[in-house]
């Protein structure tokens, strides 16, 4: 599925992976850690985010340590997409590997928390259904979106290798 619609959760600049996956929970099961995702920034996020909701952020989203649990938390919450002005390189790759579409979105300041957003990752469009404004963004290539749709890198490889082995 290349198009997703959901509620916007808006965050600022330089939100780091320690806030997405707090260190105190690093030895806990992933199901416990995800309950604490972004709790020090928005205590309601992990409790109220719904499958398909859209995270909108500023500069350098996911900066900090390379902990993959930060991106995994968004996948486990079934976040539909992350739109940010820029991403920390390792977070960006981890998110794609876990099946979370990430798109560069320089218009992030025009989105308000709670807006209804539609994202077409392959078509390269973001629509704010609340304001009626539409934006063009760099799309995710179809072959990479196939990996994301399969649930990330590992499920995609299992699917591909399973077909070639048959």
Q: What is the CATH number of the domain that holds 84?
A: 3.20.19.10
Residue 1: what pLDDT? Answer: 62
pTM, 2 dp: 0.94
CB-based contact 33:136 (threshold 8 Å): no
| CA atoms of 7 and 160, how far apart (whole Å) | 33
**pLDDT tens digits, residue range 91-104?**
999 999 999 999 99
Among candidate residues 9, 3, 45, 47, the one with its CA nearest the CA of residue 140: 3
Q: Is 123 helix (H, G, I), strand (E, B) or coil?
A: coil
With a cut of 70, say whether residue 165 has pLDDT above it.
Answer: no
Mean pLDDT within 120-141: 97
Tens digit of pLDDT for each residue in 48-83? 999 999 999 999 999 998 889 999 999 999 999 999
**Domains held by the chain: number:** 1
Using the 8-state DSSP alphabet, how is residue 64 labeled? S
**Three-state DSSP class for 16?**
strand
* Domain carrying residue 122: 3-165
How large is the greatest C-alpha to C-alpha distance in the chain, in angstroms?
A: 50
């Amino acid at each position: 599925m290349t198009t997703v619609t959901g509620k916007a959760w808006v965050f600022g600049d330089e939100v780091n992976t320690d806030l997405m996956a707090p260190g105190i929970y690093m030895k806990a099961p992933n199901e416990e850690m995800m309950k604490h995702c972004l709790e020090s920034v928005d205590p309601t996020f992990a409790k109220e985010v719904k499958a398909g909701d859209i995270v909108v952020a500023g500069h350098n989203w996911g900066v900090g340590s390379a902990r993959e649990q930060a991106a995994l938390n968004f996948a486990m919450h079934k976040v539909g997409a992350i739109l940010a002005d820029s991403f920390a390189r390792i977070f960006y790759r981890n998110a794609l590997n876990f099946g979370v579409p990430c798109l560069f979105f320089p218009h992030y300041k025009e989105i308000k928390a709670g807006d209804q957003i539609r994202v077409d990752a392959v078509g390269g469009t973001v629509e704010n259904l609340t304001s009626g404004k539409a934006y063009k963004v760099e799309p995710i290539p179809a072959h990479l979106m196939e990996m994301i749709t399969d649930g990330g890198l590992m499920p995609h490889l299992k699917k591909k290798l399973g077909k070639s082995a048959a």
